[in-house]
Structure 1
């Protein structure tokens, strides 16, 4: 049975992924023993992983044997969305001031939208969530602002959790989110700053109804 830091890292990544993608829901009790059995590792590294997730406010430890998944509250969601809006709007402002995204980024955005369209048609929620994340990361990358990329990365896990909440509650939101992305991309590449700002606000407002 695997032990040590490698096992703790496996348990951390596995449990965090399940929380972010919605397989472990808010309020659910998670057993160290069950996670250890799933991964073929001992309980000690799972406990270490749970401590890390507790520090990240994803789990509340209830005993040495387990923890409860911390629900994402409306207040937390609002805070995440406010920061997303600030980062994406500021990054886009820099892009517009520079004359728009370069061709490489524009081509990658177009490729991403093609992938999103196929995922919507297939009803692939998990795949769409990843493509959604990549789409917004491209908007940030276009600004060539390393601080914006750093701040976006810090929000990434919570954003993924919000996306999964929205899209799993109602898979019809896949098509709506894709339509939002098409509008955002059109405004972004054409230099329509006011249109982009309005589309971004409308897009992020969708997530308020996910909780």
Structure 2
């Protein structure tokens, strides 16, 4: 029973700290300590240490003995790698959808529903705003009729959320751009124009995630 309780405490700390990293509540570059998190989560240091080791293994933090844990900032290389992967996966999905004209209306309806919810979301609620942003793009990936690629795209979801939240925090105008760009992406799919979609997606991702010089 004690072992199970220790595991559940470590799992809870892991989930709470990770969510704070993803939502920028703990910012990249910030140094946090086991004692600080133990106090915040009302647990001993042991489950915190276990959670930190897991977060380090996943690349979210670096541990420094007797100093604490440094939250790994979102680097330009990470942004470019995530954006490149998303362009490939979403572009492939849209080409698959547009090769099956009967699939286009269904995806368009799903995206319009998402866009309507997104328009009514409070941009200051960056957690919900970023969730709807991720959902829009995941709907596109899932429509590509390739479950392996769709599942791989979902694994990008956490980095996608963190990057979007950081971008909205950096510049409030990004929220408006996301909505405007999503409407254009939807229009390109409805027009069965995969080339236009890929062109718009490249500009959308480079602009939202502040990647100067990114190719279109």
Normalised TM-score (structure 2): 0.89
User: Which region of structure 1 is more displaced relative to structure 2, 135-144 or 93-102?
Assistant: 93-102
- Distance, in Å, in 2 between the alignment partners of 1:61 and 1:110 is 44
Q: Deviations over 1:110-136 (max 9, x none)?
A: 11100111125x543222111000100
Cα 1:71/1:165, change in 2 over 3 Å: same
- The equivalent residue for 2:87 is 85
Deviation at 1:19, TM superposition (A): 0.8
Deviation at 1:41, TM superposition (A): 1.7
Q: Structure 2: where are the runs of 5+ without partners?
A: none
Matched positions, count: 210
Q: Does 1:16 align with 2:28?
A: no
Q: Please give the residue correspondences for 1:1-211 in structure 2 after superposition, counting only pairs within 5 Å.
A: 3-63=5-65, 66-99=68-101, 101=103, 103-119=105-121, 123-209=124-210
Deviation at 1:175, TM superposition (A): 0.5
Q: Deviations over 1:130-170 (max 9, x none)?
A: 10001001001111211111211221111111101111101
Deviation at 1:103, TM superposition (A): 4.4
- Distance, in Å, in 2 between the alignment partners of 1:141 and 1:153 is 9
Kindly indicate whether the alpha-carbon contact (under 8 Å) linking 2:144 and 2:150 is maintained by their aligned counterparts in 1.
no
SS of 2:144's equivalent in the other structure is coil
- Distance, in Å, in 1 between the alignment partners of 2:160 and 2:211 is 12
Kindly indicate whether the alpha-carbon contact (under 8 Å) linking 1:129 and 1:160 is maintained by their aligned counterparts in 2.
yes
- Distance, in Å, in 2 between the alignment partners of 1:100 and 1:197 is 20
SS of 1:22's equivalent in the other structure is coil
Deviation at 1:71, TM superposition (A): 1.1
Cα 1:104/1:6, change in 2 over 3 Å: farther
- Distance, in Å, in 2 between the alignment partners of 1:36 and 1:100 is 54
Deviation at 1:86, TM superposition (A): 0.9
- Distance, in Å, in 1 between the alignment partners of 2:66 and 2:95 is 48
User: Which region of structure 1 is more displaced relative to structure 2, 46-55 or 96-105?
Assistant: 96-105
SS of 2:114's equivalent in the other structure is helix
Cα 1:45/1:158, change in 2 over 3 Å: same
Q: Structure 1: where are the runs of 5+ without partners?
A: none
